[in-house]
Amino acid sequence: MKTRFVVAGEAIADLIARSDGAFAPTLGGSPWNLARALGRLGSRVAYVTPLSTDTFGEQFLRALQESRVEFAGQRSERPSCLALVHIQPDGSPAYRFYREGVADRDYTPASVWEQVRGPQTVFHIASLALFPPDGYAWADFLLELNRQGICTSVDVNVRQLPGADNRAYTELLQRVMPQARVLKVSDEDLQQLGRVGDPLHVACTLLNNTTQVVLLTRGALGAWCLTAEGIWHEPAPTTPVRDTVGAGDCSYAGFLHALDRAGAFDLPWCTPDAQTLQNALALASRCAAFNLRQQGCQPAWLHEL
C-alpha cells in the first residue's frame, strides 16, 4: 500500500448503559475507530490526535498499537473525552458527550502539517472535530490541503450537542463538505443538515470539482457510491445485529482500503473506475457486517473477512 492515511478527530470513552442500570466502558470515537479499522485491514495509517495520559488514554494508545496504527500525536495531561451511550430499541446508539477541556482538543491543525507532507497522503477528519470553534481551523486546513494537492476525506457524522450552537455547527459542515475529495454522508446526516428531498438526489448535488466521490449510507437500504460518471449500489448486509456502534466507521474503512488497494489514490489523482467503486462498496459491506455481529466497535482483521 503506497498511501498513508492520516486521521484526525476524537477518541472517546463510551460509557454504554446496560439493562441493569450500570455503564460498561468501551473505547470509541468515529475517527479513532476508523484508524483502527484501516490498520487491521493492512492500510498504512497514522492517528494524529492527542491522547490523554489518564487510564483511558493508555487504553486508547495500546489499542491503536495492537491494530498496527502509528500514533503520531502527542500525549496530553487533559482527561479523555467521555460519552454516555444508550442503545435504542432498533440497536442504534444515542450519545451524550462531555468535551470541555479534553485531550482530543489539545492541538491545532498547524501541529499536523509535518504528518501530511508525504508524497501520497490521504488526510481524514470526522465528527466532533468539526464542531465550532475547533472546526473553523480544520475547515481552513482542508482548504489549504486541497490547494496543495493533498487528498482529503471527510465523514460528516453529524452530532448535535445539547446546549451548543448547533446552527453554527451545521453551517460550518456545509462549508467543510465541499473540501472533501472523498465524502461520506448518511441519509440521517442530510436530514440534520436540512438537505431535504430524495437522499440520492441530494447526494448528487454534493459532487463538485473537489468532491469527486460521495459515499451515501442508508442503513437497511444499503450504500451508494456517486461520482460524475455514475451511481453504484450495494445492498445492506444480511447478518444478525448485536448493535450498530462503529459499523459506519468500519464500513468506510473498508471502502477507503479497497480504493487504495486498487491504486485509486495513486498520483495523479483521477476518479476511480466503475469496477473499483463496486469492489469498494462490497468490501465496505463485509466490514460493516462483521462489526454488526460484535458488541461495540470491533473492526475485522483482513483474514476474518
Grid cell 460521495 is found at 214
CB 9 within 8 A of CB 104: yes
Assigned C-alpha cell, 109: 491543525
pLDDT tens digits for 57-82? 999 999 999 999 999 999 999 999 99
In this structure, are residues 121 and 127 in contact, taking their beta carbons and an 8 Å threshold? Answer: no
pLDDT band, residue 1 (cuts 50/70/90)? low
Cα 16 to Cα 302: distance, rounded to the nearest angstrom: 27
Report whether pLDDT(202) > 90: yes
pLDDT given for residue 2 in this prediction: 85
Q: What is the mean pLDDT of residues 211-224?
A: 96
Residue 88's pLDDT band (cuts 50, 70, 90) = confident
Is pLDDT of 18 > 90?
Answer: no
Q: Is the pLDDT of residue 129 over 70?
A: yes
Query: What are the extents of the domains in the chain?
Result: 4-304
Q: Which residues lie closer than 8 Å to 49 by C-beta, 6 or more apart?
A: 7, 8, 9, 10, 11, 31, 32, 73, 104, 107, 129
**pLDDT tens by residue, 137-182:** 999 999 999 999 999 999 999 987 877 888 999 999 999 999 999 9
> Amino acid identity of 147?
R
pLDDT at 302 over 80: yes
Superfamily of domain 4-304: Ribokinase (3.40.1190.20)
Query: Residue 93: is its pLDDT beyond 80?
Result: no
DSSP 244: -
The per-residue pLDDT for range 21-61, each reduced to its tens digit, is 888 888 999 999 999 999 999 999 999 999 999 999 999 99
- 55-66 and 30-41 are packed helices; what angle lies between their axes, rounded to 10 degrees? 30
Lowest mean pLDDT among 15-24, 100-109, 121-130, 260-269: 15-24
pLDDT exceeds 70 at position 305 = yes
pTM: 0.95
Sign of the dihedral defined by the CA atoms of residues 87, 60, 288, 270, in that order: positive
How far apart CA 63 and CA 98 sit, in angstroms, is: 22
**Tens of pLDDT along 234-258?**
999 899 998 888 899 999 999 999 9
Q: What pLDDT sits at residue 109?
A: 97
